[in-house]
């Protein structure tokens, strides 16, 4: 099974716009782009993503809180999560992996490669 449906949660409008082009026009995914954890929660079940791409630092609900809330939804409980964040330390990275994220993408990211990176992470996840 290949990656097709991706949900992206990010409060920065410009990053959302770049990711949207990268994931739809370049990678050919079906994308749901949300500007907050709350909005993601409201739409997630109906959209049924195969993978969730989450910004770490957002106002109100941050990435970790959003992840926890999303995975509590019954139909989403096994959905893999990838975090996206500005340069971080190794210990912090480990923390995200420990809570169950399958990967971390560092900002700045290369838009032309974002789709491929997610696909690879997704393949590794479902075959492991």
Contact set with another protein (CB under 8 A)? 11-12, 14-15, 17-18, 21, 24-28, 57, 59, 84-87, 107-109, 111, 115
- 47 vs 109 by CB, closer to another protein: 109
Q: How many residues does the chain have?
A: 128
Closest distance to another protein from the beta carbon of 114 (Å): 10
Instruction: Rank residues 71 and 111 by Cβ distance to another protein and give the closer one.
Output: 111
Q: Judged by CB, which is closer to another protein: 74, or 108?
A: 108
């Amino acid at each position: 099974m290949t990656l097709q449906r991706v949900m992206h949660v990010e409060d920065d409008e410009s990053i959302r716009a770049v990711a949207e082009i990268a994931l739809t026009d370049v990678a050919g995914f079906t994308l749901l782009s949300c500007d907050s954890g709350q909005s993601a929660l409201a739409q997630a079940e109906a959209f049924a993503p195969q993978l969730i791409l989450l910004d770490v630092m957002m106002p109100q609900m941050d990435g970790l809180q959003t992840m926890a809330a999303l995975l509590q939804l019954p139909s989403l409980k096994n959905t893999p999560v990838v975090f996206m964040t500005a340069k971080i330390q190794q210990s912090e990275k480990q923390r995200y992996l420990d809570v169950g994220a399958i990967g971390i993408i560092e900002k700045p990211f290369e838009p032309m490669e974002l789709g491929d990176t997610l696909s690879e992470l997704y393949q590794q996840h479902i075959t492991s």
